[in-house]
Amino acid sequence: MSDKENRQLKGFNNFSKFLAIYLLIGISMLYMYQYFTRTQQVEISYSKFKSLLLEDKIKKCTISEKYISGVYLSKEGKEKRFITVAVNDPDLVKELQAHHVDFSGKVTNTWLTNLIFGWILPFGFLFFIWWLMTRKMRGTSGGLFGFGKGRFKVYLNEKPDVKFSDVAGAEEAKQEIQEIVEYLKDPQKYQRLGGRAPKGVLLVGAPGVGKTLFAKATAGEAGVPFISISGSEFIEMFVGVGASRVRDLFNEAKKLSPCIVFIDEIDTIGKSRAMSSLTSNDEREQTLNQLLAEMDGFDSSKGVIIMAATNRPEILDPALLRPGRFDRQIIVDKPDVKGREEIFKVHIKKIKIGGDVDIKKLAQMTPGLVGADIANIVNEAALLAARENADSVHMEHFEEAIERQIAGLKKKNKVISEEEKKRVAYHESGHAICAYLLPGADPVHKISIIPRGLSALGYTQQLPVDDRYLLTKEEMLDKVITLLGGRAAEELIFGSISTGAQNDLSRATDIVRAIVSQFGMDEKIGLMVVEEPTGPRFLSGDGFLARADKVSEKTKEMVDEEISRILKESYDRAKEILQNNRDKLEKLASELLKKEVINEEELKAIMEGDSGN
């Protein structure tokens, strides 16, 4: 916790004690006033008062315009105080004299008393408490109750203790940021040649790739204060609060320079103002305008670097991305196989692993996963080993953790009929045999008919040998045939099909649609791009808006016909492969029903048996 936060917390605790004391004093004064003004008075009716008077029980009384109060003798002979309402009784004085009661009159002028005790003191006390609260809770520039004070966290020179050695899997991004570190350490090196540091650095990447970790490592390497805040912490229900917090953030940054200001999830306040009038928000737009003005107004030579992170750059306002604001835009991509291996090494340091753990194989088993996923896998493997009371974490624990991350929780107690289990075994065997025999498909690592997750009754795990960035048409078609192999096996063995191929059909259709309409790989459609790729266009000039649809209805019909044709040809090819290897299909499914899980070595042994192609 920073010194500023400690001061704020200490001040708030002192204020709480101060307020509690004043509330206690106020309540005590109120009770004392009630006690001394109306102590143990018994309220009686005027008729009872007259009865007590006739019985010579009234000892003394005081008569005012509205009340008669005094002392009377109870049945036990004790004196008690009483009060009753005064009425127009002309004979009262004569009766009091006749019964020798000590009485006196009292002129009551209660307007001043009512004014003081009924209005001035209560409202004065409340006003004093209100003034005290507002004086304690308002900031220097924050407005009432500190709504406009920036809710950022400040890490001074000793924090954060994250270094670049703690960040793995994104060497290119690390090299880009290294220049920022060198500038913060030695600004004169660049200034003597007339150069200046970038005002802002925007880190772009999928969730979990380590954007926040990169920002902390930058501050840790440079040894400068690190100011962190989330974009959502600027926004409140009151218009103008966000802009005030932006001003407070930059004022604090100037005091701590050289430093790094990190705004996480900047898309919360940096959405494009041209998106739609229906989603217009005055508070967000004022906050964005203030941020733009502050970034224009401060001098980067003072050593203040603004870093921000987002996984939705396509919705950011173009004014944020222009040179002079976020000059440098660094994409923190998902790690490749080498990067995942380095990430595993970083996280495995914290646990005790067995000698059979192959980090390189773990990296191959996790294509497409990011640093946060890998950290979760390592932790899950450690928990699984602890649950089994193992001395260390072994490869089997890591494999189970990876399968849990990708396919979901194993459900051994899920009741499945023998007929369904048999169908699932043939379905997964169809996938595996097509993948084994087709050169463009990824190698099979494991086949399982153990239910996982919400709906997966089985799965075939394929692992790419290397990370692929380009695919040929033949390789994509082999993937489609592999996906359709499960449905083809069901039709071949049972003469009917089930709903189990729903996800396979969806993925196969997406691949074929991309072949036809996006990659120009279909002879009939030609080189024309019919559909734009879905998903965000990182840092593209088009922003979040999709291009207008410029193809004719006739072309769309041709696309649909070609997609249907390619899917049918691929399905026929899958059935042909399985028909030619039916004996292997039968044997593999039989082994699956016995063992439930088959690895790549067992699959290879079955596929390299006596039967043919």
Active site positions, annotated: 428
Residue 460 pairs in a beta bridge with 447
Structure tokens that stand for 126 in this block: 């409340």
What is the SS3 assignment for 126?
helix
DSSP labels, 512-535 = HHHHHHTS---TTTTT---SPPPS
Query: What whole-number distance in Å separates Cα of residue 152 and Cα of residue 248?
Result: 10
Cis peptide before 258 (omega within 30 of 0): yes
| DSSP tag of 88 | -
Query: What whole-number distance in Å separates Cα of residue 489 and Cα of residue 484?
Result: 9
Separation of CA 503 from chain center: 28
Find where tokens 């390497």 sit. Answer: 221
Contact status, residue 72 vs residue 57, Cβ threshold 8 Å: yes
Contact status, residue 367 vs residue 337, Cβ threshold 8 Å: yes
**Strands in 362-515 per DSSP E:** 444-448, 459-462
- Cα torsion for 192, 197, 199, 203, to the nearest 10°? 180
- The torsion angles phi and psi of 62, rounded to 5 degrees, stand at -125, 130
**Strands in 33-101 per DSSP E:** 41-43, 58-63, 67-73, 79-85
Structure tokens that stand for 402 in this block: 């990876």
